[in-house]
Structure 1
Amino acid sequence: MSQNSHITIEEGSTNVYADLGYADAAEMQRKSQLAAEIARAIKARRLTQQGAAALLEIDQSKISRITRGQFRGVSEAKLLELVAKLGHDVKIVVGPVRRRAGKIELQFA
């Protein structure tokens, strides 16, 4: 690089999917977090993909796709179910009504 070259760096948000322009960015981020937790839980339990598939009662190929971050076509509800089957408690809290649209967020203990 020459001394006259300039590199422009743009700071992103906390949601890479929003930065990339996805219309469903918030949902994609939540699903990504759930998929990552599924992968962590499978690793922590030292399960093979076949063992995880048997425990979770889904195809091994679907486990493979989810743990590689390919979760399009898998609902948030299904991902939450898989997290629960891997031993996590899942708690959904509905808060008070507000004058603006509510938000959905995940917390991992």
Structure 2
Amino acid sequence: MMSEDMTPIEFTPSSGNVFADMGLEDAEELLTRAKLGVTVRRILESRNLKQQEIAKLLDIKQPEVSNLMKGKYHLFSEARLFGFLNKLEKKVTIQISTHYAGEALIEVAEIG
């Protein structure tokens, strides 16, 4: 039971893609970059590397390392993020399958 001074909270359910919920045109691409970027960042964090070590490992400049570690994945192309994963000795597998209504057009799944 609600007291008189409590106003019900209104909310809109998420579509599963925050970028689409924000109305951005390139929402699927941004979500893919975010998922790839998070995967790269998690791997780097698990290795406890300093930013200089990351820069050398990924062959990028320190400001780019900073952007990557701060989650600014929109600054990196999907191909570049794939390249980072390869430099981290991760295999990237692309699978093409039927798309069903209501599901994302692009999925990123981290295995092992």
CA RMSD, Structure 1 to Structure 2 (Å): 2.1
Aligned residues: 104
Aligned-residue identity in percent:
32
Cα deviations by residue, 1:29-50 (Å, 9 ceiling, x for unpaired): 0100111111111111111111
- Secondary structure of the corresponding residue to residue 72 of structure 1: helix
Among candidates 3, 17, 20, match of residue 19 of structure 2: 17
Distance 1:4 1:88, change over 3 A: same
- The structural deviation recorded for 1:94 is 4.0
TM-score, with length taken from structure 1: 0.83
CA distance in 1 between partners of 2:8 and 2:67 (Å): 39
Superposition map of 1:67-78 within 5 A? 67-78=69-80
Is the deviation greater in 53-62 or in 65-74?
65-74
Tell me the residue number matched to 2:84: 82
Q: Unmatched 5+ residue regions in structure 2?
A: 100-104
Post-superposition Cα deviations, 1:19-70, rounded to whole Å, max 9, x if no partner, equal 0111010110010011111111111111111101101100111011022121
TM-score, normalised to structure 2, is 0.81
What residue number does 1:57 align with? 59
